[in-house]
Amino acid sequence: MVISKRTFVVGLTLYCLSRIAFADDVGLSKPFSACMDHSGGVTAEMLDCIGAETKRQDARLNRAYKEAMLQLPLARKNQLRDAQRAWIKYRDANCDFYADPDGGTLATVSSSDCFLSATASRAKEIEGFKE
């Protein structure tokens, strides 16, 4: 399947625009939004933005997890630990699936965005466990 450069850019732009509302819902950072705005739809620059935000969201997730673990009784800590381990396996397998070797650069963006989105959503979820 051959996709024209124009079709790719239009599709990528629409994809990115659809992510704006999601970004607010899960707490993506303002630097990420600014970075994506300045990327001009250039795949390499977008991947850099996504990679930097994934690191921020992973740090957020780790903080939320540690805070939740400090507040929970032992049995609940064990449940959260097991759930988190299962979630990580699921996220990794699911997002790796998006990286279709025949999917071109959009597959790489989709896979990276999957990791970012899943991590940010999980961070927000665990932040909600605070008592």
Helices (H), the chain: 5-26, 30-38, 43-71, 74-98, 104-127
Per-residue confidence (pLDDT) for residue 22, from 0 to 100: 54
66 within 8 A of 80, measured Cβ to Cβ:
no
C-alpha pair distances (Å), 10 with each of 15, 47, 82: 9, 17, 42
* Residue-number span of the structural domain to which 111 is assigned: 5-127
**Residues 60-87: tens digit of each pLDDT:** 999 999 999 999 999 999 999 999 999 9
Question: Which is more confident, 2 or 92?
Answer: 92
- pTM for the whole structure: 0.80
CATH for 107: 1.20.1270
| Number of domain units in the chain | 1
- The amino acid present at 101, given as its one-letter code, is P
17 within 8 A of 39, measured Cβ to Cβ:
no
Banded pLDDT at 104 (limits 50, 70, 90): confident
What is the separation of C-alpha 128 from the centre of its chain, rounded to a whole number of angstroms?
18
**Residues 5-62: tens digit of each pLDDT:** 666 555 656 555 555 445 557 899 999 999 999 999 999 999 999 999 999 999 999 9
Residue 121 CA to residue 112 CA, distance in Å, equals 14
